[in-house]
């Protein structure tokens, strides 16, 4: 009986040793000097009322903040990545290359979509005299100019009625990187109904029954080294009609 017990004990002991050895060979051992896994990237939190500069609204938001350690890797470059946006070898094409090199999250098609939204928002906010909406969409100089025009209009008792009809075309006409500052100039061709009325309700400019064609050349700017992902309008010019 004692002999049987000893054999059984030995068998189980050998089995336990084999299991421990097998686990160590598969899983390894922890020495205390292993490299810690990288932390998951945290949301950058940028957005309306959270862009860190006290301004409201977003003009053109790129897919992620620049120079964020958790930003997605840049898409693989290709010879035709700007084909729908610019002529190969043109100034715009080369400028987009420079901007994309400085900001790996930059996407040209996303930019145009955001610029179109910003264009409509700015026009309608200016017509309504909505300074709060404009503040986060414009550079300080452009905002001051727009705000003064609204003040002058209010002092005369005038009101602008604007109905945005459509954006028929939005195209890049210039792209450049100056240091860390990216600038992209857009040409917008749009349709809208607009009329200005005096304090008595008489139409003094425009036509509330007529759709007008509008061409604008606007330049948007962004510091690619900043965490703020917003682009803001810095130059406003009338285009050809």
Q: What does the longest C-alpha to C-alpha distance in the chain come to? A: 117
Q: Which of 61, 102, 91 is nearest to 220 (CA)?
A: 61
Q: Which of 67, 66, 68, 93 is nearest to 80 (CA)?
A: 93
Would you tell me which CATH number, out of the four given (3.10.450.240, 3.40.50.300, 3.40.50.1820, 3.40.50.740), belongs to the domain 60-238? 3.10.450.240
Residues 38-81: pLDDT tens digits? 333 332 223 333 333 444 444 455 333 344 444 444 444 556 78
Quote the tokens at residue 207.
């036509």
Residues 189-198: pLDDT tens digits? 999 999 999 9
Task: Using only the alpha carbons of the chain, give its radius of gyration.
Answer: 30
First to last CA, the chain: 109
Mean pLDDT of the 105-129 span? 96
Record the pTM. 0.69
């Amino acid at each position: 009986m004692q002999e049987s017990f000893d054999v059984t004990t030995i068998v189980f002991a050998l089995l336990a040793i084999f299991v421990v050895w097998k686990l160590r060979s598969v899983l390894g051992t922890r020495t205390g000097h292993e490299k810690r896994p990288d932390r998951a990237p945290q949301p950058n939190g940028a957005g309306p009322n959270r862009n860190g500069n006290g301004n409201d609204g977003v003009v053109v938001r790129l897919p992620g903040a620049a120079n964020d350690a958790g930003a997605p890797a840049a898409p693989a470059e290709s010879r035709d990545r700007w084909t729908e946006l610019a002529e190969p070898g043109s100034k715009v094409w080369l400028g987009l290359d420079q901007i994309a090199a400085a900001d790996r999250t930059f996407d040209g098609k996303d930019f145009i979509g955001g610029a179109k939204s910003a264009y409509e928002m700015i026009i309608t906010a200016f017509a309504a005299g909505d300074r709060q909406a404009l503040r986060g969409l414009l550079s300080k100089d452009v905002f001051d100019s727009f705000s003064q025009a609204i003040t002058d209009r209010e002092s005369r008792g005038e009101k602008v009625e604007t109905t945005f009809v459509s954006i028929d075309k939005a195209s890049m006409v210039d792209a450049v990187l100056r240091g860390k500052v990216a600038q992209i100039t857009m040409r917008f061709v749009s349709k809208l109904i607009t009329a200005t009325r005096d304090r008595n309700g008489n139409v003094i400019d425009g036509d509330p029954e007529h759709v007008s064609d509008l061409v604008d050349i606007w330049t948007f700017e962004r510091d690619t080294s900043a965490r703020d992902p917003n682009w803001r309008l810095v130059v406003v010019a009338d285009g050809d009609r």
